[in-house]
Structure 1
Amino acid sequence: MKESLSRRSFIGLGCLGATAAAASLAGCAPKSTDATGSSTEASSAGAEASEKSETLLPNAANLEFFPPAESEVAYIADPITDEEVVETLSCDVVICGAGMSGVAAAASASENGLSTIVLEKGSSFAARGTEVGAFGDRAHAASDIVLDAQAFMSDGLSTAHFRCDRFVWQRWCERSGEALDWAMDTVGDKCGAFTAKSGNSEFCGVTTWGSGVRVENGIPSLVEELLKSAENHGADIRFSTPAVQLIQQDGKIKGVYAKGSEGIIKIEASQGVVLATGGYEFNWDMLTQRIRPRDLAVYAWTNPTTTNTGDGILMGLAAGAAEDDWPHILMNDPAGAKTGTRANGAMLAFLRVNENGQRFVNENLSFEYMSNAIMYQPGAHDFVLLSGTDILASLEKAKGGAPWTPEDMYDSIKDVLVQADSLDELAKTCGINAENLSATVARYNELCEAGEDTDFGKKTNDLIPLSEGPYYAIEESGACLVTVNGLRINADSQVLTQEGSVIEGLYAVGNASGSMFNGTYPHHMSAISHGRCLTFGYLVGRRLAGLED
């Protein structure tokens, strides 16, 4: 179990509001790290301000925090001098980051004749997942699925409460199909089949969009093949070589400094620099400055790319860029466990109660709204309830059409499953109000027997009663994958200043970029995150090559 963090410690780590914005550029890197990359020294500025800041965060009271193990921040705040440089390179474009967006940009730029250098902090490319979102692509056409891009964009704008850039959304909707078709042409059959999901579905009045396209061999295979394409077109890929500082002259970005094994490398880029460094989910200082305290009280941090420490965002801010307004948002899922793992996503159908023993949500909600509902409960957690001697049978019913077996589901929860012979015993073990729990379960069983959830509106086929023991509970909170807010951009991925003017020569894509999401990440818009990474990476490569208007 990860070490928890007290409220006072949390505030001391830097949740200081706007007054800390300027200091954050120099202070986001841990002062020292141990062999595992964990921070061993908190921000001194945050510690000094903890007393005066305590009253600013009333919603942080009674919350328990489980910070991720931090990685070392690569960004260097102090100006780098020529005396520190051990190597100087020149190229058309430098791409900082080798995830989905950076690799797509590299493949696109290099195939269109640009000399390209890719700088990656980690020892390999970064990729995860199975789907990429798009509209109007061949995969959807092959499945006779036609989606309304205008309605999709309207949903995205509404989910962000219109605190976003409509033209960025529009560019994605109009060009994502082209980008995916390009990727499929580039990789051929090396990633297996590209198959569109089923069409739209409705849950609690929310449209879950069928925009996702499943890559048979997974997103890592797609990124790997795009990277090979970039290399085949002459791109210079440098792993374990993070970008650390932008080179700026008269307001224009002229290149970037990187840190190699022998020291500082100066790279001059005639066409531009692309920041594709991902988010900052492994930089606790940045998280506590930018994220709602309640959203940070998740139990699990599930992104395997632990090098995501906000380096590109910090470099952009130092060059005068604007970022999305605070608070930023996390891509949070439900089913986070205190072990730091995440339970199977098909657990959504089961009854949930808070620590007061109250049912609080229609369990048919999409991931982002379910996670928000959980995080809003006392203690930012809840309990998932199951019962019966044949737990696999209950899991079989709960999974519906999900592509998992009951055995898969059980394996994901067995280490966090609490068992008791009675509801009173279960309540005592878990710290749930026993009287309320008994009444809640009795009422829920009545609804199950009637075949209609008149209290919350849950679908009839997901009404799974808790009619006999033994009884089981899983303590649950959120599970964070990534941050999704970054530098403000226009539809051409050009980074903007606070006044809205373009920083010439600087571009941002993927989770280093912003301008799309606000309030909550729209999980119901299937695979939109990978979709924006691929699309804007592809388009920025073309733009740098002079192929876009």
Structure 2
Amino acid sequence: MELSRRNFLKVGAVAGALGMGAGLAGCASPSGSSAKKEADKNAAASSEDWLGEAPNLTPNDCSKTVETEVIVVGSALAGSMAAYGAMKNGAQVTVLERNAAPHIGGMTISFFNSDTQKEAGLPMYDPVKTANDMFNLTQYRSDMRLNTLWINRSGELMDNLRKDFLEPYNQYYLPLSLEGIFPDPDQEITSYISTGVAFSETDILTDFTHNIHKFLEDKGVETYYKTKAEVLVQDDSGRVTGVIATDENGDHIHFKAAKGVVMCTGSFGKNEAMMKKFFPKHFADWALKYNSYEAYMGSDPVTDKQMDDGLGHRMLCWAGAEMEEICGYAAWQTTAWRSFPYLLVDTKGERFMNECTSLLTSAHIVADLPGHEGYVWQIIPTNDFQMPSSFGYDKEAAAKMFDIEKTEHYEADTIEELAKKIDVPADALAATVKRYNELCEAGEDLDFRKSKRYLDPIDDGPYQAWKMQYLFYCTLGGVRCNDKMQVLDENWDPIPGLYAGGNTVGYRFGASYESLLHGGSNGLASTHGYVAGESAATL
């Protein structure tokens, strides 16, 4: 582990803190009034029929039967940790993956108070304060039992992984802390909950994902790739006893689970009916149009269909589970300068928010702006002002992380010329810039209360406009579970034999992913998956 924590953060930890990689700076993004017409044209799905009917499949329709003890549906991070948790507790484990390879996302995983982090000299977190901070950050919408489970058990998971997998398999790992790296001298926001561990120097979790699957295979876990789970099998008492799946040849297979089934099937962001059921219309339209879920499949073979169709959520609900009624999301922005709080304007040329806010919690604001295109413009002057980053890295590092030339941007000698190039009203943009400059000169942002240290007047041409396109990544809503990760029915009673982890689980976030929870989505997915596998093997 020769890479220093500070250098790691300069080249890539921002992507890890967001739980996302940096390779989407150049994503093409349609614009203009045609977008709304296109969205309206394609908005045929009804949110009321999002669930649909379960496939009429029974074990009698299957060409063969595979008997095992614990079945894990989905092989990404939560699924691999579920397989690990079940295997570590002595169970025979079978994993079903509909793709040819696991989905990969994020750079860091968050663990609390592990011996590994303590030995690295990192700060330990007070469980009481941390649990309450999380509850506040999620707008009191998360289930504190699920957050507390993460706080209480993730350190154990990290130390077990280190002993069983990381060191024996020479898997790179580096405990991190963002304290002192992402400064907040004005105390405008809650302190970062920063407990991430990186598993690559520059990449997302590619090596970790492939290596953990090699480890699981060596320990006897069998994975069926290109095998799509279709429906859960239940006995007369309602207990889940297995899964009916379809292989790449179209043959049905009955997988029988003597102990339990763990569902770790991820996002439903490409399911139009579900998006319109569990999100506001403008947000759903934007998310469907700018879904970037498959960006992390890399060079591995993939199917020709989008994976995040919500089938796992529907399988759970067909078996009696209850969905969270208002779901959260994860999203981020393209452009190398996204964490530098320059003046932002919408498509009408007007300022609309404090630019120094959480990167990930503003997508719904932007999606609701006039035109509902999900993009805004950064207006940048030419001067010697060294704009501080609100997220801890300098411009040189940002330029290395993101290919800035792939970001749509324009330059002009006057504000009026710039307005024409970006197709916003020139008089409105000029008025916005004039007002912004007055606030900068006064040293006080009376309109949105941005900190004085970020007030840089737009007073030195030529002027630049950088397009900041918001991209949707995944949904963060799902079914209700208890602290053993048993899936609950509408009466909050466990459905026997059924467990869940990852983005299939609900009540973990508020309206959105919270960037102050460093590696939070991966952290929750890992711990919840691990406990789900453990419970399936032992209860």
Match of 1:291 among 279, 282, 285: 279
Deviates more, 1:407-416 or 1:217-226: 407-416
Deviates more, 1:466-475 or 1:165-174: 466-475
Counterpart for residue 341 of structure 2: 349
In structure 2, distance between residues paired with 1:455 and 1:513:
39
Counterpart for residue 9 of structure 1: 41
Once the two structures are TM-superposed, the CA of residue 163 in structure 1 deviates from its matched residue by 3.2
Match of 1:252 among 231, 239, 244: 239
Match of 1:261 among 226, 232, 248: 248
CA deviations on 1:172-196 (whole Å, 9 max, x unpaired) are 1111121122222233243323221
Match of 1:230 among 199, 203, 216: 216
In structure 1, distance between residues paired with 2:340 and 2:126:
28
Alignment of structure 1 residues 23-42 onto 2, 5 Å: 24-26=51-53
Matched, 1:206 2:194: no
Once the two structures are TM-superposed, the CA of residue 106 in structure 1 deviates from its matched residue by 1.0
Are the equivalent residues in 2 in contact too, given 1:180–1:534 (CA < 8 A)?
A: no
Counterpart for residue 134 of structure 1: 111
Alignment of structure 1 residues 84-103 onto 2, 5 Å: 84-103=61-80
Match of 2:432 among 436, 440, 449: 440
In structure 2, distance between residues paired with 1:512 and 1:313:
6
User: Structure 1 267/394 Cα, relative in aligned 2: closer, same or farther at 3 Å?
Assistant: farther
Match of 1:491 among 446, 464, 483: 483
Deviates more, 1:509-518 or 1:498-507: 509-518
In structure 2, distance between residues paired with 1:126 and 1:359:
37
Once the two structures are TM-superposed, the CA of residue 480 in structure 1 deviates from its matched residue by 1.1
Match of 2:256, SS? strand
Once the two structures are TM-superposed, the CA of residue 227 in structure 1 deviates from its matched residue by 1.5
Matched, 1:307 2:318: no
Unaligned runs of 5+ in 2: 1-28, 298-305
In structure 1, distance between residues paired with 2:219 and 2:234:
28
User: Structure 1 248/180 Cα, relative in aligned 2: closer, same or farther at 3 Å?
Assistant: same
Return the structure number with greater relative CO, CA threshold 8 A, min gap 6. 2
Counterpart for residue 319 of structure 2: 319
Alignment of structure 1 residues 405-420 onto 2, 5 Å: 405-408=397-400, 411-412=403-404, 414-420=406-412
In structure 2, distance between residues paired with 1:478 and 1:214:
25
Once the two structures are TM-superposed, the CA of residue 396 in structure 1 deviates from its matched residue by 7.7
User: Structure 1 410/199 Cα, relative in aligned 2: closer, same or farther at 3 Å?
Assistant: closer
Alignment of structure 1 residues 5-404 onto 2, 5 Å: 5-6=36-37, 8-9=40-41, 11-14=43-46, 16=47, 19-21=48-50, 24-26=51-53, 77-141=54-118, 142-189=120-167, 190-199=170-179, 202=184, 204-217=188-201, 218-250=204-236, 251-262=238-249, 263-296=251-284, 297-298=286-287, 300-304=290-294, 306-325=306-325, 327-333=326-332, 335=333, 342-344=334-336, 346-380=338-372, 381-388=375-382, 398=389, 401-402=392-393
Deviates more, 1:350-359 or 1:298-307: 298-307
Aligned-residue Cα RMSD (Å) equals 2.6
In structure 1, distance between residues paired with 2:408 and 2:115:
43
Counterpart for residue 503 of structure 1: 495
User: Structure 1 283/400 Cα, relative in aligned 2: closer, same or farther at 3 Å?
Assistant: closer
Match of 1:542, SS? helix
Once the two structures are TM-superposed, the CA of residue 451 in structure 1 deviates from its matched residue by 5.0
CA deviations on 1:146-165 (whole Å, 9 max, x unpaired) are 22332222232234333332
Deviates more, 1:305-314 or 1:122-131: 305-314
Deviates more, 1:81-90 or 1:171-180: 81-90
Match of 1:358, SS? coil
In structure 2, distance between residues paired with 1:184 and 1:463:
45
Once the two structures are TM-superposed, the CA of residue 454 in structure 1 deviates from its matched residue by 4.8
In structure 2, distance between residues paired with 1:523 and 1:219:
18
CA deviations on 1:116-145 (whole Å, 9 max, x unpaired) are 110001101221221111211235422331
User: Structure 1 379/153 Cα, relative in aligned 2: closer, same or farther at 3 Å?
Assistant: farther
In structure 1, distance between residues paired with 2:493 and 2:390:
49
TM-score, normalised by the number of residues in structure 2: 0.82
Match of 1:504, SS? strand
Are the equivalent residues in 2 in contact too, given 1:139–1:194 (CA < 8 A)?
A: no
Are the equivalent residues in 1 in contact too, given 2:327–2:506 (CA < 8 A)?
A: no
CA deviations on 1:242-281 (whole Å, 9 max, x unpaired) are 2111001121100001111340010110100000111112
Figure out how many residues of one structure are paired with residues of the other and give that number.
481
TM-score, normalised by the number of residues in structure 1: 0.81
Once the two structures are TM-superposed, the CA of residue 346 in structure 1 deviates from its matched residue by 4.0
Are the equivalent residues in 1 in contact too, given 2:85–2:530 (CA < 8 A)?
A: yes
Deviates more, 1:245-254 or 1:514-523: 514-523
Are the equivalent residues in 1 in contact too, given 2:271–2:308 (CA < 8 A)?
A: yes
Deviates more, 1:528-537 or 1:175-184: 175-184
In structure 2, distance between residues paired with 1:463 and 1:116:
56
In structure 1, distance between residues paired with 2:403 and 2:240:
50
Once the two structures are TM-superposed, the CA of residue 89 in structure 1 deviates from its matched residue by 0.8
Deviates more, 1:151-160 or 1:265-274: 151-160
